[in-house]
Amino acid sequence: MRRILVTDPVAGDPDAGATGRPSDASEGRPVAARSVPDRALLAPTLARTITVSVLVYYCGIAVLNVLWSGAGAGRLVACALCVAAVFSVQLLHVSARAQQWPLRLRCLTLGIQTVLTFLPLAVFGLSWGSMAGPLAGSLLLLLPGRAAWPLFALISAVVLVQSSLEDSGAVMVVYLTTSTMMAGVILYGTAKLSDLVREVHASRTEMARMAVGQERLRFARDLHDLLGYSLSAITLKSELIQRLVHSRPERAREEIASVLDVSRQALADVRLVARGYRDMSLSDEADSAARILATADVEAEVSIDCGRLHPVVETVLATALREGMTNVLRHSRVEHCTISATTEGETVRLTLVNDGVSGAARRPSPDSGSGLGNLRSRLSAIGGRVEAGLLDDGRFQLFAEAPLRPSNTGTPGTGAADGSATAVSAA
């Protein structure tokens, strides 16, 4: 029993492995969706509620002012209807879709609000208070800045002149003018804040969706890289057992035991892929490859002289070796295979060379299948590269090169991504 360090940056659950509880990925739920707090779903609604509350406050002030002036029931009802009309139009203007309207429609609704604002001002006088403020805020929201701000200043000047003509005193003039300006700026600010909250929430949702897609891609890559080799080995050994079962039953039983070991390892790999990321050993993969090749009566030369490597680099190179061995077992009639890993300066080089290349492998396409594409993605993420092709003597070579110090330690599937680390057991 060996211990393998597995990191799970998406789920972010440091207790998953310690308690034996499967992570969300292994249960089939979207892992990244859990990273968005439930309370964040209420943020756009809360921002919208604040904007509407500010609008209700200013409309309520207008009704209270008319009521305070001693107006009769008829004037009070008329004031309430005017306030309701202004509120309805303003509610449309602070919505996100209003800013997407055609300019002509925006100008039409602003004209309606202008009439609903200044007509009651002529009837109710100063009791109408700062109801010009919502109109000023609508102008800032729906018109370009070069037109909105001069019109904002014009509305403030109209309120200043109107209050001055009423001979209400300097204090009331300053109060009404500044209230109008503040109401416009506050409604404009809260509406913009609501839009920003909505955009942030949409961005968080999109990030969660992208994280789920990235996790699915990691899962698919790891299944291909880890299981392709194991299944090829099981197929090879099963064919050997079929030939030996009658002529050499003792050898067949040994191979059956070997198939069981490979299948158990494949099962452990599947569980590790479902739970998170895993570290792999280049030397262990090379030894396993040598045993599989020996089973197939293939002459193998294995030389791993690179020593201990950074976990990310070693895992990526071990994955490259697995992919190379999968191709050897699937696509060639190999009789001799050489596996070597050496360090030169600040780089480590893995080379796999085999003969017996089939006709299909003589015309490799970089984009045919996902094996080499996965390797290129993994190696380029840490500043390495991979090459595959025929040598002059007709043998096939897989060459992978990586820096001793990876440029990115968060490569998916490398076992060194940022996140919580948990220990799990593998047979």
Q: Which amino acid is at 285?
A: E
Note the pLDDT of residue 21: 39
**Domain assignment of residue 146, yes or no:** yes
The tokens of 291 are what?
């045993």
Are the beta carbons of 333 and 358 closer than 8 angstroms?
A: yes
**Domain assignment of residue 13, yes or no:** no
Domain shared by 377 and 312, yes or no: yes
Domain of 369 in residue numbering reads as 282-411
Domain shared by 262 and 287, yes or no: no
Note the pLDDT of residue 360: 52
122: left (phi over 0), alpha (psi -120 to 50) or beta: alpha
Task: Tell which wins on pLDDT, 323 or 111.
Answer: 111
pLDDT at 410 over 80: no
Domain shared by 72 and 162, yes or no: yes
Number of domains the chain is built from: 2
Domain shared by 164 and 246, yes or no: yes
pLDDT at 139 over 90: yes
**Domain assignment of residue 10, yes or no:** no
Q: What band does 420 get if pLDDT is binned at 50, 70 and 90?
A: very low
Flag whether the pTM goes above 0.75: no
Note the pLDDT of residue 146: 92
Domain shared by 257 and 293, yes or no: no
Task: Tell which wins on pLDDT, 362 or 122.
Answer: 122
Domain shared by 327 and 382, yes or no: yes
Euclidean distance between CA atoms 9 and 258, whole angstroms? 34
Domain shared by 360 and 383, yes or no: yes
pLDDT at 318 over 70: yes
Mean per-residue pLDDT over the chain, rounded: 77
Condensed to tens digits (0 to 9), the pLDDT of residues 230-285 reads 777 787 778 888 888 888 888 888 888 888 887 887 777 777 665 555 678 899 88
Q: Euclidean distance between the first and final Cα of the chain, in Å?
A: 5
List 357's β-bridge partners, or say none. 332
Are the beta carbons of 382 and 423 closer than 8 angstroms?
A: no
Are the beta carbons of 197 and 395 closer than 8 angstroms?
A: no
Q: Which amino acid is at 230?
A: S
> C-alpha angle with apex 321: 315 to 327, nearest 5 degrees?
140
Percent of the chain with pLDDT over 90: 19
Q: What band does 122 get if pLDDT is binned at 50, 70 and 90?
A: confident
Euclidean distance between CA atoms 423 and 37, whole angstroms? 27
**Domain assignment of residue 420, yes or no:** no
Alpha-carbon torsion angle 307, 308, 309, 311, nearest 10: 150
How far lies 61's CA from each of 180, 195, 210, in Å?
12, 26, 47
**Domain assignment of residue 354, yes or no:** yes
Note the pLDDT of residue 333: 81
Note the pLDDT of residue 51: 85
Domain shared by 231 and 290, yes or no: no
Burial of 384 (0-12, 13-18, 19+ CB in 10 A): buried
Condensed to tens digits (0 to 9), the pLDDT of residues 8-27 reads 433 434 344 333 334 444 34
Q: Which of 230, 259, 277 represents a domain boundary (last residue)?
A: 277
How much is the average pLDDT of 309-316? 89
Task: Tell which wins on pLDDT, 47 or 146.
Answer: 146
Q: What band does 326 get if pLDDT is binned at 50, 70 and 90?
A: confident
Q: Which of 277, 295, 318 represents a domain boundary (last residue)?
A: 277
Domain shared by 150 and 94, yes or no: yes
> C-alpha angle with apex 315: 382 to 260, nearest 5 degrees?
155
Domain shared by 44 and 173, yes or no: yes
**Domain assignment of residue 8, yes or no:** no
How much is the average pLDDT of 91-119? 90
Note the pLDDT of residue 277: 55
pLDDT at 362 over 80: no
Domain shared by 147 and 25, yes or no: yes
Q: How far is CA 264 from the centre of its chain?
A: 33
Q: What band does 179 get if pLDDT is binned at 50, 70 and 90?
A: confident
Q: What band does 35 get if pLDDT is binned at 50, 70 and 90?
A: very low
Note the pLDDT of residue 20: 38
Condensed to tens digits (0 to 9), the pLDDT of residues 377-400 reads 888 889 999 999 899 888 999 999
237: left (phi over 0), alpha (psi -120 to 50) or beta: alpha
How far is it between the farthest Cα atoms of the chain? 118
The helix (H) or strand (E) run that includes residue 352 is strand 347-354
Q: What band does 418 get if pLDDT is binned at 50, 70 and 90?
A: very low
The residues, ordered by sequence, that sit 6+ positions from 112 with a Cβ below 8 Å of its Cβ are 89
**Domain assignment of residue 425, yes or no:** no
**Domain assignment of residue 88, yes or no:** yes
pLDDT at 205 over 60: yes
Task: Tell which wins on pLDDT, 147 or 162.
Answer: 147
Which of 47-51, 247-251, 281-285, 294-298 tops mean pLDDT?
281-285
Q: Which of 242, 277, 312 represents a domain boundary (last residue)?
A: 277
Query: DSSP of 15-35, one letter per residue?
Result: THHHHTPPPHHHHTS-SGGGG
Percent of the chain with pLDDT over 70: 79
CATH number at residue 348: 3.30.565.10
Domain shared by 151 and 292, yes or no: no
Q: What is the DSSP letter of 143?
A: S
Note the pLDDT of residue 408: 65
